[in-house]
Amino acid sequence: MDSTLQSIKQRFGIVSRSPLLDRALGTAVRVANTDLSVLLTGESGVGKEIFSKVIHSLSARKHNKFIAINCGAIPEGTINSELFGHEKGAFTGATNERKGYFESYDGGTLFLDEIGEMPLDTQAFLLRVLETGEFIRVGASKALKTDVRIIAATNVSLEERVTKGKFREDLYYRLNTVPIRIPALRERPEDIYLLFRKFAVDFAEKYRAAPIQLDERAQVLLESYSWPGNVRELKNAAEQASVLAEEKNLSPEQLSHIIPQIMKRNLPMITGPHSGPEANMQEREIFYKFMLDMKNDLNDLKSLVVELIRSNDLRVSDATALRGLRAPMDFPHASPSVKEAIDDGEFLPEYHDDEEEMETDPHVVKPIILNQNRDNSYAPTEEVEDNLSLEEAEKELIRRALKKHNGRRKEAAQDLGISERTLYRKIKQYEL
């Protein structure tokens, strides 16, 4: 199988040593001798059309005609006529009858690229062709027979389009008899420099010039870029560098000067329908609420330690440590007497770790913990569940910002990181 794949790569100019691409190519070779429908999936620019030509060339239909049709490039009003043909007078401008692709390429292979952009009514006609081999010209009443093989391709998720009602579910399962996913270029970084060298050599041979090369650091820079345009973008970059490079051996600095986008990195961010200023505002609100809760918990913990020291007659050796745990002024149990006692060092007698010295020296008092509430060591507590509503958190933040800036909306909006118009809308929404 390896030798077969190598010969196919040489025949179609496929440069790769990636096991992911070899697996996809192996699937294409196995399904080529059948008449099963094939669905090629992958991002734009990964080479789906080359795979369709490989399947056709290795099939029993290789001596018949092959055509690639971009479904997204044909207007919705004429795609039925293009695919299935029309009768004379079927619509305005139909002065003569016309054969469609299914009739003209009978016995061959049709590669339907961007199948996800096909209109729903055309999908119904295509489903009939796949199931019965019959189609009807536009404006005709007689069914015609055809024997074509369908290879479809898409760079979008057909499952999502089925969920949204933009693609027929029955057609999806009919096309998806043999799915082949072609990996993106960023998933096979071992192929990036190989392809770059191929494109550079092809360009040099075409224009009779010496091909450009990259040093090791420039190769690392080339392979670390995500290449959202895949092989098509890489080819454009190789040709661009071949034209603009003043030297034939490029460094990372020279390469980034010629191809500035190669320095871009795709960092994680919020995307999709929930992204935007409103979503970012809610994310910040959750973070701020979390930080405020942490601060309150820390203050409660400090106050609890101070109360334990006071109520249990606990003695510590380091006054600075106790002052660092000083309770906040607004804590209900942190009365002024407690704060004065801490500042005056009332709870800070000398403490010794040497037990023998404590036993022999009568002036050293060994610290003890007195249980003053034997029947009820801790005061009754009530567990209150936090309100985790984003709406309530947003309302509370807006209320605090307005209070902080004495009702000045412009300054409050700047503090919140939103526009003044959005703040005004939120105030009306929450009746603040």
Please report, for the domain that includes residue 408, its CATH number: 1.10.10
Position 271 in a domain: no
Residues 9 and 144 grouped into a single domain: yes
Residue 374 in domain = no
Same domain for 7 and 96: yes
- In tens, the pLDDT along 320-338 reads 555 555 555 544 444 454 4
Both structure tokens of 24:
């996809």
Give the CATH number for residue 6. 3.40.50.300
How many C-beta atoms lie closer than 10 Å to residue 428's C-beta? 9
Residue 370 lies in a domain: no
Q: Note whether 16 and 165 are same-domain residues.
A: yes
Q: Which of 183, 208, 242 is the last residue of a domain?
A: 183
121, with CB counted inside 10 A (0-12, 13-18, 19+), is: exposed
Q: Are residues 121 and 222 in the same domain?
A: no
Q: What pTM was computed for the model?
A: 0.61
Q: Are residues 11 and 113 in the same domain?
A: yes
Domain boundary pick from 202, 230, 263? 263
Q: Are 162 and 116 in contact (CB under 8 A)?
A: no
Q: Which of 121, 32, 29, 25 is nearest to 81 (CA)?
A: 121
Distance CA 144, CA 136 (A): 6
- The verdict on residue 205 lying in a domain is yes
Residues present in the chain in total = 432
d(CA 401, CA 14): 61
Note whether 158 and 196 are same-domain residues: no
Q: Confirm whether 221 is domain-assigned.
A: yes
Asked if pLDDT for residue 134 goes beyond 90, the answer is: yes
**Would you say residue 380 lies in a domain?**
no
**Better-predicted residue by pLDDT, 300 or 322:** 300
Q: Is the same domain home to 59 and 160? A: yes
Residues 19 and 156 in one domain: yes
pLDDT of residue 242: 94
Mean pLDDT taken over the chain: 82
Distance, in Å, from the CA atom of 32 to the CA atom of 5, rounded to the nearest integer, reads 13
The verdict on 109 and 258 lying in the same domain is no
Q: What is the pLDDT of residue 289?
A: 75
Same domain for 118 and 227, yes or no, is no
- Which residue has tokens 């910040």? 284
Least confidently predicted of 25-34, 101-110, 117-126, 299-308: 299-308
Using one digit for the tens of pLDDT, what is the confidence trace for 27-59?
999 999 999 999 999 999 999 999 999 999 999
84 and 211 assigned to the same domain? no
- Any domain includes 385: no
Total count of domains within the chain: 4
Model confidence band, residue 360 (pLDDT cutoffs 50, 70, 90):
low
- Checking if the pLDDT of 200 tops 70, the result is yes
pLDDT at 308: 79
Q: Which of 156, 183, 210 is the last residue of a domain?
A: 183
pLDDT at 191: 95
Q: Please give the C-alpha separations between residue 78 and each of 93, 105, 118, in angstroms, as whole numbers.
A: 11, 18, 12
What is the residue range of 233's domain?
A: 186-263
What is the C-alpha to C-alpha distance for residues 179 and 277, in angstroms, rounded to an integer?
A: 39
Q: In this structure, is residue 67 part of a structural domain?
A: yes
Judgement on whether residues 18 and 112 belong to the same structural domain of the protein: yes
- Residue 200 CA to residue 210 CA, distance in Å, equals 9
- How do beta strands 134-136 and 143-145 pair? antiparallel
pLDDT at 388 over 60: no
